[in-house]
Amino acid sequence: MTLFDFNSSAARKNPAGAIAAFRQAFGDDPACELIVKTQNGAAHPQALAALSAAAGANVRIIDATWPYDRIKVLIAGADALISLHRAEGFGLVMAEAMALGTPVIATAASGNLDFMDDASAVLIPAALVPVEDPQAIYQGQSWAEPDLRVAALALRRLRQDPGLRQVLAAAGRRSVEERLSPQAWRATLPLIVRDAIPAPAEAPVSLSG
């Protein structure tokens, strides 16, 4: 699956890239399905229409605003989450997927590299290119263009290797616990501040607040 908000720029989140990589990997194979979960498509009808035109019979676009718990169920139930973003601030969806034990395929660029590496996710190489955003949300900058051929190979590899999916799921959880948990955050604070804050209780990692 892949997930994004049209208000965050479809070109930046690059669901079209995820669709293209999926189609390159699996064609019209009915045994494979890509779910593209979006929201706010009604506010950007041209972008939504372009995305729908790129989808095949085994690509399902769901444009709706869901409660967050339902989103987490969708992510947790996916075989993999793919984010071929061109730029990210933090990368919350990827972090949530890792915390939930869903393997992640992601562009090797931007904020997600603060909490993922080649051991905890499948990172897709990218080249720096000028920004081209039909929604004109971003202009006059550069961002990353992921290699769709490598992404397609990664999708096929994950489908064929359940052992790899299990390894990535465990490593992703571990990475989030080590880098993004309340305990990890507290450890970054100066000692004088740490002493003034009660230690957080040990609990399963969740990034939903």
Whether the CB-CB separation of 69 and 35 falls below 8 Å is answered with: no
Residue 130: helix, strand or coil by DSSP? strand
| 18-34 pLDDT per residue, tens | 999 999 999 999 999 99
Contact 98, 75 (CB under 8 A): no
Would you say residue 113 has pLDDT above 60? Answer: yes
Q: How large a percentage of the chain has pLDDT more than 70?
A: 95
Place 202 in a pLDDT band, splitting at 50, 70 and 90.
Answer: low
State residue 209's pLDDT score.
35
Whether residue 157 has pLDDT greater than 50: yes
Please give the pLDDT value at position 197.
78
Query: What residues pair up with 39 in beta bridges, in sequence order?
Result: 5
Question: Which of 44, 36, 93 is closest to 62 using CA atoms?
Answer: 36
The per-residue pLDDT for 3 is: 97
pLDDT greater than 50 at residue 198: yes
Q: What backbone torsions phi and psi does residue 129 show, to the nearest 5 degrees? A: -135, 160
- CATH code for residues 2-196: 3.40.50.2000
